Structure 1
Amino acid sequence: MKDIARQSMSIKVESMDLLNGQIKMEAHASATYLAMASWCEQNGFFTSAKFFFKQAEEEREHMMKIFNFLVDTGGNPISPEVTNINHDYSSIVDVFESTLEHEVKVTKSIHNIVKKARESGDIATERFLDWFVMEQVEEENTVRDILDMIEVTGTEGVGLQMIDNQVANWID
């Protein structure tokens, strides 16, 4: 029965495996953003904490979109184990630089899955990922804008409070 089910999947096995890896990456991102929210709360960056709580929820939503897509295509989504979450940051700049670094990795991963889906003729997976491609453009742009604002504001004296207040502009 298992072989028959795998043969009747509308998703390519390679795409399913890559998407399961992406599920894990999205779960890791959600947990990482919760840790960042906690760091922000503990260090008095309350608006930034709200930003990261929202980001954590969004990453979980991304994970669930992929999970449900695999279900809908007859695939086998795997609930990921999340480990190695960093809870220590040296500054608010470190938090947002780490965020951008992570978002760039996610973008590369999504692009890789799109390329592999295209190569294997998995049109449904390729089309499904269109939304994620554009979402990553938005995610990276948001964090770059925040880092630009931090650079302009500076991190001396009241600059830190101004930074935290300005992050509210990126909370929808």
Structure 2
Amino acid sequence: MLSKKLQQAFNEQINHEMASAYLYLSMAAYAHSMNLPGFAHWLELQYKEEQGHAMKLYKFVNERGGKVELLAIPQPTSEFKSPAHLFEEVLSHERKITALINKLYEAAVEAKDYAAQVLLHWFIEEQVEEEAAASEILGTIKMAGEKGHALVMMDRQLARRGMN
């Protein structure tokens, strides 16, 4: 059984994951508006991943006899200065989510909820991957530049995500 305090923390994290999904969908819309369908594809897959993360937490709360309470999702930003700015925001957002997952893990440790700790290990590992992917893409954009052939090639590379 989940403690009330931990249940509330999990509900808040479900909200953060759904807000992340909404943010990535907004970012994908921006990429489409900039005629970068590969960037949009990558961000749309992130949108789906974040929904999956929320559902993983949702299922856990239910399996532990808790009650999921969905909270309001804030409107995401929809304007970005450039592809580099877009991925600076992606990286910044993933770092924010990492901090929230770490805080949730600390709450699970404090509650001595071992099942929650095991679940959150998966999320901690996932965040390492999320930050690394965003950082790599941002670094490549900065190295290649934001105009011309290099950006087109990068767009095509991002379009292949999920096809392996």
Alpha-carbon distance in 2 for matches of 1:119, 1:151? 41
Conserved 8 A contact 2:38-2:158: yes
1:56 is aligned to 2:63: no
Structure 1 residues 22 and 74 mapped into 2: Cα distance closer, same or farther (>3 Å)? same
Quote the residue 2:136 is aligned against. Answer: 145
Quote the residue 1:98 is aligned against. Answer: 89
Deviation at 1:42, TM superposition (A): 1.0
Quote the residue 1:82 is aligned against. Answer: 73
Quote the residue 2:114 is aligned against. Answer: 123
Alpha-carbon distance in 2 for matches of 1:170, 1:144? 16
Alpha-carbon distance in 1 for matches of 2:150, 2:119? 42
Counterpart code for 2:54: M
**Cα deviations by residue, 1:71-95 (Å, 9 ceiling, x for unpaired):** 1101111123212211111111111
**Cα deviations by residue, 1:109-153 (Å, 9 ceiling, x for unpaired):** 001111111122111111111110111111111101101111221
1:107 is aligned to 2:98: yes
Larger Rg computed on CA atoms: 1
Counterpart code for 1:18: A
Quote the residue 1:13 is aligned against. Answer: 4
* Percent identity for Structure 1 against Structure 2: 31
Match of 1:167 among 141, 145, 158: 158
Conserved 8 A contact 1:11-1:124: no
Counterpart code for 2:47: A
1:71 is aligned to 2:77: no
Alpha-carbon distance in 2 for matches of 1:109, 1:168? 29
- TM-score, normalised with respect to structure 2: 0.94
What secondary structure does 2:93 align onto? helix
Quote the residue 1:158 is aligned against. Answer: 149
- TM-score, normalised with respect to structure 1: 0.89
Gaps of 5+ in 1: 1-9
Alpha-carbon distance in 2 for matches of 1:169, 1:163? 10
Alpha-carbon distance in 2 for matches of 1:83, 1:75? 24
Alpha-carbon distance in 1 for matches of 2:94, 2:148? 29
Conserved 8 A contact 2:38-2:160: no
Deviation at 1:61, TM superposition (A): 0.6
Conserved 8 A contact 1:27-1:60: yes
